[in-house]
């Protein structure tokens, strides 16, 4: 177990939770105990609260509610999105959408969750982790999660057909 520095952000708290607790669902159900443990580990209160709020927001049902999505449309990233998502991250999200791993709704939800993190050091590896976390929390996305997990565990590029 590594001891966090004071520069930690919300994503660092989430990484710490998943690295140190095998069943994060139990951890989120006992928020006070986990909050105390994270404080003892050196995380600031505000980042701990933001991490738990972020995790709880994954269960929001309204997130999959695009009014209409034209499959021929092109996703253009706004200036705000470009601030938090590098070109590599943008391309990866588009690749996952074009590969039918992410629906347009799920892609937009992921973008919202990334923006909520406000992580200035956000990169492609962190995006992959966020994508996997969101897919893991959606029972209807088990096949997509398995595909992403296979890539992550084998550290091999995907095969396209």
- For 36-88, how does the pLDDT look when each residue is reduced to its tens digit (9 = 90+)? 889 998 999 999 989 888 888 887 656 555 556 677 778 899 999 999 999 99
pTM summary value: 0.77
Q: What CA–CA distances, in Å, run from 141 to 64, 70, 74, 147? A: 13, 21, 23, 10
Q: What is the CA radius of gyration of the chain?
A: 16
Give the range among 101-105, 131-135, 140-144, 157-161 with minimum mean pLDDT: 157-161
> Residue 154 half-sphere exposure, CB side, CA atoms within 13 Å?
10
pLDDT reported for residue 31: 79
What is residue 58's three-state secondary structure?
coil
Rank 57-66, 71-80, 111-120, 144-153 by mean pLDDT and report only the highest.
Answer: 111-120
Q: What is the mean pLDDT of the chain?
A: 80
pLDDT reported for residue 62: 60
């Amino acid at each position: 177990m590594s001891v966090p520095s004071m520069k930690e952000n919300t994503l660092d708290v989430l990484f710490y939770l998943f690295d140190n607790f095998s069943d994060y669902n139990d951890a989120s159900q006992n928020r006070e105990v986990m909050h105390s443990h994270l404080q003892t580990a050196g995380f600031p209160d505000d980042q701990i609260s933001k991490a738990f709020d972020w995790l709880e927001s994954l269960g929001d049902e309204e997130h999959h509610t695009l009014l209409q999505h034209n499959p021929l449309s092109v996703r253009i990233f706004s200036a705000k999105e470009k601030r938090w998502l590098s070109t590599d991250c943008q391309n990866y999200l588009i690749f996952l959408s074009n590969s039918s791993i992410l629906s347009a709704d799920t892609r937009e939800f992921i973008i919202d969750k990334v923006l909520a993190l406000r992580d200035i050091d956000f990169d492609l590896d962190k995006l992959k982790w966020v994508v996997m976390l969101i897919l893991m929390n959606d029972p209807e996305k088990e096949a997509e999660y398995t595909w992403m997990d296979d890539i992550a565990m084998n550290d091999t590029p995907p095969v396209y057909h």
